[in-house]
Amino acid sequence: MNTLRLQITGMTCDHCAQTVQAALNALPGVKAEVSYKEALAEVEAPAEVAPERLVKAVQAKGYGATVLDGAGSSPTTEGGGSLHVAIIGSGSAAFAAAIRAVEEGAQVTIIETAGFIGGTCVNIGCVPSKIMIRGAHIAHLQAGHAFEGVPLNPPTIDRAAMVGQQQARVEELRQAKYQRILDANSNIQLIKGRARFENSRTLRITRPDGVETTLTPDRVLIATGARPAIPDIPGLHEPPYWTSTEALVAEQLPEHLAVIGGSVVALELAQAFLRLGSRVTILARSTLLSKEDPAIGEALVKVFEAEGARVLLHTLPDAVAHDGQEFILSSPAGEIRADALLVATGRRPNTAGLGLEAAGIETAKNGAIVIDDHMRTNVGHIYAAGDCTNQPQFVYVAAVAGTRAAINMTGGDAALDLTTMPAVVFTDPQVATVGLTEQQALDQGLDVESRTLDLDNVPRALANFDTRGFIKLVAETATGRLLGAQVLAAEGGEIIQSAALAIRNHMTVQDLADQLFPYLTMVEGLKLCAQTFTKDVKQLSCCAG
């Protein structure tokens, strides 16, 4: 007997799986079990029943079938050729998937839909924003550090020069991390154009010159990313406002920048422009970073106001107008006039125009593609990864999801566990979180306790003359097991991974308190906060164990 696995496509329910299973079991000597959820058929067949005969039995019922080898490590089509994977999009999820799929023996076609390769992160997101934020931080230190004896030197900002350097690095990374991969790998083909499903099996691609081609790949990965979401405010769709895309390459600093939004992008860019010399007004629908522990948003309001920003909570404009020179925002706080307006109210999945309905792909109300922990959509051979899905919109999530999708598309079994996903907001101080907040734990019915350590208890923060912020740990009461960490600190992004590893490895707060941490580091604050569950750290000497 031969043991084979078939990847089954076109199934939409358990009844479909039963139909395929019956068709296979009708062949002489064949024993098959078909899983709709896995889109797989596990088959035992006599040697005289060729794999092609199994495939034809499935096709006779209107479904597709691809033969995988016994180990599932060398994907092939029913004709014996390499598995063909089409990837819609060319960002982090797409390239991570392409690289792994090729390693698994597949042929890959990437369909670039945005006009440039590399996606949001390297082109208009993470990379340029962090360069701008770092430059603004340097300007802020020159103008207002806390060290006596070191003269303050408020800088003259050449924003055009900053943008030039920033975009040169963007181009360098796009070439190094994306274009060179294409140039070096003949098994990855790039097609520029707009892709649309004609049905679950066929993609129609319209190239920039209008020429149309079709693809019928064995697997499809949708990795089209997201775009800025614009709120429905009267007049907002008419004036020349900025999204983060335009703000990051603006070569002139506005005298007064109004920012609509209170989440990650809004706060990162608002503080950057503030530190480069713009006057900034923030209008937030609710609180700052409203999805985080409330103490974080409350502390950030104080930070921003101390640096000169005006922060208006629970305030959105009633209407927006532009008189040719200024934006005029009518709001409950009165009329606000600004010469630039940044709209940063979240991002919306790029799924419109893909013809998902023709393929029968399920989406959420906001257009996000619904996937499981294996990056599978409800259509067996179609997967999705990154910001176009219902997963968290972080580039590192997109990349690891792309890799796992490729493993699964080529016959493997790789799930993505996001329970210990760390997140960082690059304000100053940084916001860094992992695991559950105290309220989230209570909402899940868990009995928890928490401790909050102000940074004036952390020797490194004292040595830095910067004690803004805190570290909070959430633990299960009965066991002491660490469940979550929330950090507001100048190096929060460097601290949080230690907490993530502790949670991942089921450590207790006592385990954390007993660990060795190097003295005069910010991450030592985790140890000190863990110690507060059993003692008063104010009564300890420096670097006390």
Distance CA 247, CA 250 (A): 5
CB 138 within 8 A of CB 441: no
Long-range contacts, 201-209 (Cβ 8 Å, 24+) = 201/9, 201/10, 201/64, 203/86, 203/88, 203/111, 205/111
Distance CA 216, CA 269 (A): 43
Percentages helix, strand, coil for the chain, rounded to the nearest 5? 35, 25, 40
Backbone angles phi, psi at 334, to 5 degrees: 105, 180
Output the six-digit token pair for 218: 């064995």
CB 204 within 8 A of CB 351: no
On the CB side of 346, CA atoms within 13 Å amount to 12
Output the six-digit token pair for 330: 């009518």
Q: How far is CA 52 from CA 3, 4, 24, 59, 195, in A?
A: 14, 12, 12, 10, 31
What burial class does residue 233 get, using C-beta atoms within 10 Å of its C-beta: 0-12 exposed, 13-18 middle, 19+ buried?
middle
Distance CA 447, CA 52 (A): 57
Distance CA 496, CA 472 (A): 11
Q: How many CB atoms lie within 10 A of CB 215?
A: 16
CB 451 within 8 A of CB 438: no
For the annotated catalytic residues, the residue numbers are 11, 13, 16, 63, 121, 126, 542-543
Q: How many CB atoms lie within 10 A of CB 526?
A: 27
